[in-house]
Amino acid sequence: MEEMKTLSSTLQNKANDFVWIGLNRGNTGRWQWSLGDGDMYREEAEYRKWNSGEPNNAGKSEFCVAMQKCNGTWLDDGCDHQYSFVCYDGNKAHNQTYRFIPDAKTWREAQSYCRENYTDLTSVRDQSENQQIWSVTNTSSSSNVWIGLFNDSWQWSDQSNSSFRYWKSGQPNNLGENCTAVRMEDQGQWHDVDCNKMNPFVCYQNKLVLVNLTLTWKDALRYCREHHVDLVSVDSEKVQSWVMDLAQKASTDHVWLGLRHTCTLNFWFWVSGESICYQNWAPGHGTGVEDCGSGERSGAVELSGGQQWVSLPQNQQLNFICSNY
């Protein structure tokens, strides 16, 4: 939603009709969980608890999933039906709390409510979680309760994963319109539109770029400054999460950051000039006296463990991350 607000601000007073964004419909859909924690647990969406004969896609329009209050099994249903629902609060990988919301809402309205007030509509990884979720629905006045599973054939043109959708009510209307545009007079909400229609459009440039060349720290710095802006500075948890996502695609065990140590003055600094307030050092790194016997040290993020920062000799050859801002 933060990205949607930025997009709407960019288009303010610049668009009177539709503006293309990068969402388009593929040939087949798949069942996936609505996940507010970055879709990190998409691979855990194999568990299913369908009722007999479900999913049946009745009327070719049942793309959202509800749990039946009577027995805890699931059925696919029209996303515009209004049911109570279950949110989860916290990290699905560790501890989470299930929150039953008795208010009747459509599936998209329920998803938005959970994301605004908790983490997301609940996902279900196994029979134990299904039992826990079912147990909190006993006060529901409706026969069905929304959970976070939905069938979606829409995909982003850069192949990124995201379950976020911002459709206007009644959209997509499945009239053979397989591309997506925002409409500013509808508060930037989305419409499915004929792909052959001529509309203005919005491009984006990644803020961070992983470079799969293996270079020393100094050569990596030179490359970033010639082709982008600089080696990345990690000045917040948000930037650290971007770095962690990109680093997963590296071909080396560590990835250079724009983090540099001076042996003369014995302190670490970002080459961009950012102050080091946020820190994410691995144990035993970055907080003591550095061994400068083999030359200056530079900072890298490790791919294993918690993907924290480590101190390495600058002449090691690694992949690296550049910034475009």
CB 123, CB 148: distance < 8 Å: yes
SS3 at position 230: strand
Question: Can you give the residue ranges of every domain in the chain?
Answer: 2-193, 208-323
Task: Please give the Cα distance from 325 to 317 (Å, whole number).
Answer: 24
Helix (H/G/I), strand (E/B), else coil: 222? helix
For 76, residues 6+ apart whose C-beta sits below 8 A from its C-beta are: 54, 55, 56, 57, 58, 62, 63, 64, 65, 151
Q: Residue by residue, what is the 3-state secondary structure of 238-261?
A: HHHHHHHHHHCCCCCCEEEEEEEE
Per-residue pLDDT of the chain (325 residues; tens, 9 = 90+): 788 888 888 888 776 688 999 999 877 778 888 875 444 344 345 789 999 999 998 988 899 999 999 999 999 999 989 999 999 987 554 567 899 999 999 998 999 899 889 988 998 988 999 999 999 998 778 889 999 999 888 888 877 777 788 888 788 887 889 999 999 888 889 999 999 999 999 988 778 999 999 999 999 999 999 999 999 999 888 889 889 988 988 999 999 999 998 888 888 999 988 777 888 998 888 777 777 777 789 999 999 878 899 999 999 999 999 998 8
Q: How far is CA 287 from the centre of its chain?
A: 32
d(CA 220, CA 295): 17
Do the Cβ atoms of 77 and 97 come closer than 8 Å?
no
Helices vs strands, H then E, count in the chain: 5, 16
Torsion sign (Cα): 64, 67, 69, 71: positive
Residue 65 exposed, middle or buried by CB count within 10 Å (0-12, 13-18, 19+): buried
Q: Does domain 208-323 have CATH number 1.10.10.10?
A: no
Q: Under 8 Å CB-to-CB from 9, ≥6 apart: which residues?
A: none
Q: Is 174 left (phi over 0), alpha (psi -120 to 50) or beta?
A: left
